[in-house]
Amino acid sequence: MDKLPLSDYDFFYPEELVACEAAEPRDSARLLLADRASGSIEHRIFRDLPELLDPGDCVVLNVTRVLACRLLGKKSTGGKADLLLVRQLSPGLWSALASGLKIGAALEFPGGLTARVEGLDEEGEYQLRFSSDDIPAYLEERGLAPLPPYIAKRRPPRPFDRRRYQTVYAARDGSIAAPTAGLHFTDDLLAALSRRGVRLASLTLHVGRGTFRPILAQDAAQHRMLPEFYELKSAEAAKIEAARSEGRRVVAVGTTSTRALETLGGRPEGFGPGSGWTSLYIAPGHRFRIVSSLVTNFHLPRSTPLLLASAFLGRERLLAAYREAVRLRYRLYSFGDAMLIR
């Protein structure tokens, strides 16, 4: 991969464009249509998506379900403890993201749950030993939606977030952040796509730290993704293959679906069903084998999703589209508006 100066993937935006609340209804979000062949830009509403696709196209949805993995508690010294649980290491032992914790510190959470900080690894994740082995049940009852930090610092968590920071088709527990391009879909919109003759296929990529970990190297080509689990089942792969064999579009909903599809398309045996762990980093210079259209949100500057979208549309054209979106006051990031790059 050629050098990719990180400063080339920056853009200006007013802070008030950062969306702290999602559009209601979901499919009322704005949709910027960027056409790769003509170079044109159109401004639509997300519910227009069926008329922007053709019968036989295949829309690929990531059906991962976001865990309510944010915990608010307190330290034994009285200070606040704000945790994002990342993964279970063994029953009762979890890794977590937090700040200001000390090894050996005791933590308390609502309902009598306690934890002790046992370690800190080289990735900056704490190891916490909880007083209960059944943390998934505790999260289901008392956990909070893991909203991105730029939202969490602007407003307090709400019970409603657990439903709204989740796609309507979420089915498989495992993510610590939402595949946000999918937040715009409604049941009615999915039905409209089906009536249009658009195929709907599903896969799973559980969103972990790899998706949102910041790029620290000034040469973005040096960044390395952390592994995330993916799975595509045979019946779903067949839908995608049918679209490809007919010369139809494969429309990836989000950068997570894109990374799973491109991982499967890059295997020596070629595209097909499969599962495993992917560390695929898609940046300018990547040759797309499977994905021919992309539904995505407006991403943070200098982030891996922004570089993926740049690889798909081209850096200059993507940043020009972002400038146009900012000029027209599109809402940005996880709860913001969307793009269709086709």
Average pLDDT, stretch 216-243?
97
Residue 226 has pLDDT above 90, yes or no: yes
Residue-wise over 27-39: b if at least 16 C-beta within 10 A, else e? bebbbbbbeeeee
Decide if pLDDT at 165 tops 90. Answer: yes
* CB atoms inside a 10 Å sphere around CB 205: 28
For residue 150, what are the CA distances in angstroms to 15, 100, 215, 327?
10, 18, 17, 21
**pLDDT given at position 159:** 87
pLDDT exceeds cutoff 90 at 76: no
Q: Give yes or no for a contact between 269 and 245, defined as CB atoms under 8 angstroms apart.
A: no
Q: Reply yes or no: is the peptide bond before residue 25 cis, omega within 30 of 0.
A: yes
- Whether the per-residue pLDDT at 225 is higher than 90: the answer is yes
Q: By three-state DSSP, how is residue 78 classified? A: coil
Mean pLDDT for 298-305 is: 97
For the segment 232-249, the average pLDDT, to the nearest whole number, is 98
Element (H, E) at 316: helix 315-327
According to CATH, the topology of domain 6-66+163-341 is: QueA-like (3.40.1780)
The residue-averaged pLDDT of 16-30 equals 97
Instruction: Indicate whether 273 pLDDT > 90.
Output: yes
What's residue 60's pLDDT? 99
pLDDT given for residue 169 in this prediction: 98
Q: At residue 77, does pLDDT exceed 90?
A: no
| Mean residue pLDDT across the chain | 96
Domain with CATH 2.40.10.240 in the chain: 70-143
Q: Which residues contact 162 (CB under 8 A, 6 or more apart)?
A: 68, 144, 145
Q: What's the pLDDT at 1?
A: 79
Residue 187 pLDDT more than 90? Answer: yes
State the sign of the Cα–Cα–Cα–Cα dihedral 75, 143, 16, 257: positive
Model pLDDT, residue 192: 98
Look at residue 217 and give its three-state secondary structure. Answer: coil
Residue 261 — φ and ψ, nearest 5°?
Answer: -65, -40
Cα-Cα-Cα-Cα torsion 13, 17, 22, 26, nearest 10 degrees, comes to -80
Q: Could you please report the per-residue DSSP string of 290-307?
A: S--EEEEEPPPTT-HHHH
Mean pLDDT in residue range 3-9: 97
Mean pLDDT of 191-201: 98
pLDDT band per the 50, 70, 90 thresholds, residue 253: very high
The whole-number average pLDDT for the span 82-100 is 95
d(CA 34, CA 325): 11
Report how far residue 299's alpha carbon sits from residue 303's, in angstroms, rounded to the nearest whole number: 7
- What pTM does this model have? 0.95
pLDDT (tens digit, 9 = 90+) per residue, 311-341? 999 999 999 999 999 999 999 999 999 999 9
Q: How is residue 52 written in tokens? A: 């922007």
Q: How high is the pLDDT of residue 123?
A: 86
Predicted confidence band of residue 98 (pLDDT cuts 50, 70, 90) = very high
Confidence of residue 146 (pLDDT cuts 50, 70, 90): very high
Phi-psi domain of 52 (left: phi exceeds 0; alpha: psi -120 through 50; beta: other)? alpha
**Res 293: pLDDT:** 98
CATH number for the domain whose boundaries are 70-143:
2.40.10.240
Can you give the pLDDT at residue 302? Answer: 97
The set of residues, in sequence order, having a beta carbon less than 8 Å from that of 61 and lying 6+ positions away, is 167, 169, 182, 185, 200, 201, 202, 203, 253, 257
Distance CA 291, CA 260 (A): 10
